[in-house]
Amino acid sequence: MHEGCRARGRCRMECSWKTVLLLVCASLGVQYTAIHTLRDSLSGPCQGAYRCQSRHHRDFRWRSVCDDSWLPVESPRKHILLFATTRSGSSFTGQLLNQHSGIFYVFEPLYHVQQAFTNSSSRLRRTLDRRALLGAYRDLLLNLYTCDLHFMENYIRPEPQDHVTSTFFRRSSSHALCSPPVCLEGGNALASDPPDETWCPKKCGALNLTLASMSCLSRGHVAIKTVRVPEVGDLRTLTEDPRLDLKIIHLVRDPRAILASRMMAFSDQFRAWKIWNATGRQPRYVDLSQITSTCKDMAASAETGLQRPAWLRGRYLLVRYEDLALLPKEKATEIYRFVGLEMEDRVQMWIAKNTNSNMSSPSEWNYRYSTTRDSRATAESWRLRLGFNIVRTIQNLCNDTLALLGYKQVHSAAELRDLSHSLVEYRTFEPVT
Ligand SMILES: *[C@@H]1O[C@H](CO)[C@@H](O)[C@H](O)[C@H]1NC(C)=O
Ligand SMILES: *[C@@H]1O[C@H](CO)[C@@H](O)[C@H](O)[C@H]1NC(C)=O
Ligand SMILES: *[C@@H]1O[C@H](CO)[C@@H](O)[C@H](O)[C@H]1NC(C)=O
Ligand SMILES: *[C@@H]1O[C@H](CO)[C@@H](O)[C@H](O)[C@H]1NC(C)=O
Ligand SMILES: *[C@@H]1O[C@H](CO)[C@@H](O)[C@H](O)[C@H]1NC(C)=O
């Protein structure tokens, strides 16, 4: 590899130089064409207040490095993935990224892919299903990271007309999708706390995906939250893609807390568990498979990440939700340092406001995916919400995961309820560098 390359850290790939060139040229071609097509379809506001055009030139210009070849200038554009599991605190953590004015944040776009696959008529074999689904997930992530929101149209149902949709999943969770240039009405609503998850479509009308793509280009960085990718290994081709500078924030949480939270949020699906919790006796038909695979996937990903394979170097950060809840400012700083961005004042203000809230008007915030709560108090509140019998079962199913992530087991109901002793061991998980 060329000296200058090594010094500047630009040539990351370890395969042959020719392959690198081919790959890079091919991908640049695709990206360049995509960007041009998109830019050609954009006009009006772009040249005005939002300056996509000039931004875009800065982000995507190319320059000769390594003497005789072309590689993208080390892009300032960050591609952040909040990689989590259902009810692990990812809505809260996602807001830390959503508050940043330079980040285009999307909350669980893979929902649409899963819906499309789930309803597809052909019943493929399981492994093939899984591979195809994961491939579609990666395709969508790649396209979103390069600001092609139109790619979503392959999956959104009903099919968007004229690049406009009114069924974009959890749109209200994204500032960028509810503020100018996407939504001209949205500016003020953002200043105060949005009351619920329907405010944005109500206020802004249907979502114009072309405008969303423009907004994406005009912000410097893209962050995506998902709970639908099972293991970090499933993301490997994205970490190796020369078009991306992927930063994976792996958010984990005590599986006992995850279970308690799922029982509260999805009570219909967890009826058997609630009976178990209320009676202390395990119904025969209770489904242990979901929490078991949650534990298995979480541990497998953490093990992979902490082993620091070459393809994850500098790209993986393990964050325990409990640490974030206990020391939100410190942990948020660590997250921002990892992704390589400045933590803006408004992020700090959001943290101050949302981590010490005394829930003065809980009715306003008490919707299912609320992120505003006293994070400190909720981190271990599951200990008052689960019977010891259930806790013991989960501990047996997930003992390796608990040990790996530093969550202590309890051996009696009294120990479970005694909140003066934290079950979260002090641990540091050094960022992979
Ligand atoms: C998938 O099918 C279910 C049940 O038939 C339906 O309720 C749901 O709306 C469909 N989802 C999509 C995205 O078409
Ligand atoms: C969506 O926004 C683009 C860019 O401003 C505009 O050209 C297009 O007409 C809009 N689409 C609709 C259906 O309003
Ligand atoms: C909680 O909020 C109420 C109303 O905003 C305020 O009067 C009260 O002092 C607050 N309590 C604490 C402990 O911050
Ligand atoms: C489990 O039962 C306890 C009472 O023993 C109750 O306080 C708690 O809310 C229940 N948890 C759930 C998730 O239903
Ligand atoms: C978890 O339980 C299994 C089976 O009981 C046991 O083999 C394993 O050593 C345990 N792991 C830890 C970390 O305690």
What does the pLDDT look like over 347-357, one tens digit per residue? 998 888 777 64
Instruction: Find out whether 319 and 249 touch, Cβ atoms under 8 Å.
Output: yes
Report helix, strand or coil for 202.
helix
Range 177-200 average pLDDT: 74
| Closest CA relative to residue 171, chosen from 133, 87, 160 | 160
pLDDT at 35 over 60: no
Cα 189 → chain centroid = 24
Which single residue is written with the structure tokens 């006796």?
A: 281
Report which of residues 38 and 367 the model is more confident about.
38
Per-residue pLDDT tens over the stretch 264-290: 999 999 999 999 999 999 999 999 999
**Amino acid at residue number 304:** T
In whole angstroms, how far apart are CA 228 and each of 149, 369, 420? 19, 17, 35
Q: What is the spatial distance between Cα 266 and Cα 274, in angstroms, rounded to a whole number? A: 11
Q: Which atom of ligand 2 is nearest to the CA of 209?
A: 1
Q: Which region among 95-99, 127-131, 153-157, 425-429 has the lowest average model confidence (pLDDT)? A: 127-131
193, 355, 356, 360, best to mutate for ligand 3 pocket (most atoms within 8 Å of CB):
360
Lining residues, ligand 3, CB within 6 Å = 358, 360
Strand partners, 316: 248
pLDDT of residue 281: 95
**Residue 400 CB neighbour total at 10 angstroms:** 12
Per-residue pLDDT tens over the stretch 117-169: 875 555 543 445 788 899 999 999 999 999 999 999 999 999 999 999 999 99
Q: Which atom of ligand 4 is nearest to the CA of 263?
A: 13
Q: What is the spatial distance between Cα 258 and Cα 84, in angstroms, rounded to a whole number? A: 11
What spacing in Å lies between the alpha carbon of 31 and ligand 2's midpoint?
22
pLDDT of residue 303: 97
Q: Count CA atoms closer than 13 A to 131's CA, side-chain side.
A: 5
pLDDT at 20 over 60: no
Report which of residues 116 and 212 the model is more confident about.
212
Q: Which two tokens stand for residue 389?
A: 């019998």
Its pTM stands at: 0.79
Which single residue is written with the structure tokens 């940043």?
A: 100
Range 410-423 average pLDDT: 95
pLDDT at 369 over 90: no
Per-residue pLDDT tens over the stretch 230-264: 999 999 999 999 999 999 999 999 999 999 999 99
Pairing of strands 246-252, 316-320: parallel
pLDDT of residue 304: 97
400, 401, 402, 411, best to mutate for ligand 5 pocket (most atoms within 8 Å of CB):
400
In whole angstroms, how far apart are CA 98 and each of 166, 200, 335, 348? 21, 15, 13, 12
pLDDT at 11 over 60: no
pLDDT of residue 247: 98
Report which of residues 26 and 156 the model is more confident about.
156
Sheet-wide strand order for 221-226:
103-107, 221-226, 79-83, 246-252, 316-320
Range 414-432 average pLDDT: 90
Range 402-430 average pLDDT: 95
pLDDT of residue 49: 30
Q: Which atom of ligand 4 is nearest to the CA of 384?
A: 7
Q: What beta strand segments (E) does 328-420 contain?
A: none
Return the sign of the alpha-carbon dihedral for residues 293, 295, 296, 300. Answer: positive
Phi/psi for 386 (5° steps) reads -120, 135
pLDDT of residue 3: 41
Lining residues, ligand 1, CB within 6 Å = 115, 119, 157
Instruction: Find out whether 215 and 47 touch, Cβ atoms under 8 Å.
Output: no
Output the residue whose Cα is nearest ligand 2's atom 13: 162
273, 385, 388, 417, best to mutate for ligand 4 pocket (most atoms within 8 Å of CB):
385
pLDDT at 313 over 70: yes
Cα 331 → chain centroid = 16
What spacing in Å lies between the alpha carbon of 359 and ligand 3's midpoint?
8
**Residue 14 CB neighbour total at 10 angstroms:** 10
pLDDT of residue 199: 87
Burial class (CB in 10 A: 0-12, 13-18, 19+), 361: exposed
What spacing in Å lies between the alpha carbon of 412 and ligand 2's midpoint?
61
Give the pLDDT band (50/70/90) at residue 5.
very low
275, 277, 279, best to mutate for ligand 4 pocket (most atoms within 8 Å of CB):
277
Strand partners, 407: 424
pLDDT at 395 over 70: yes
Mean pLDDT of the chain: 80
pLDDT at 23 over 70: no
Give the pLDDT band (50/70/90) at residue 188.
low
Output the residue whose Cα is nearest ligand 3's atom 11: 358
In whole angstroms, how far apart are CA 289 and each of 164, 368, 393, 398, 400? 39, 24, 12, 11, 16
pLDDT at 24 over 60: no
Q: What is the spatial distance between Cα 71 and Cα 242, in angstroms, rounded to a whole number? A: 9
282 in the Ramachandran plot: left (φ > 0), alpha (ψ -120 to 50) or beta?
beta
Range 368-376 average pLDDT: 48
Provide the 8-state DSSP code for 123. Answer: -
Give the pLDDT band (50/70/90) at residue 295.
very high
pLDDT of residue 64: 31
pLDDT at 68 over 80: no
pLDDT at 110 over 70: yes
**Residue 22 CB neighbour total at 10 angstroms:** 11
Lining residues, ligand 5, CB within 6 Å = 399-400, 403
pLDDT of residue 362: 31
What spacing in Å lies between the alpha carbon of 116 and ligand 1's midpoint?
8
- Give Rg (Cα) of the chain: 22
Q: What is the spatial distance between Cα 34 and Cα 145, in angstroms, rounded to a whole number? A: 12
13 in the Ramachandran plot: left (φ > 0), alpha (ψ -120 to 50) or beta?
beta
Which single residue is written with the structure tokens 């271990």?
A: 380
Q: Which atom of ligand 3 is nearest to the CA of 358?
A: 1
pLDDT at 32 over 90: no
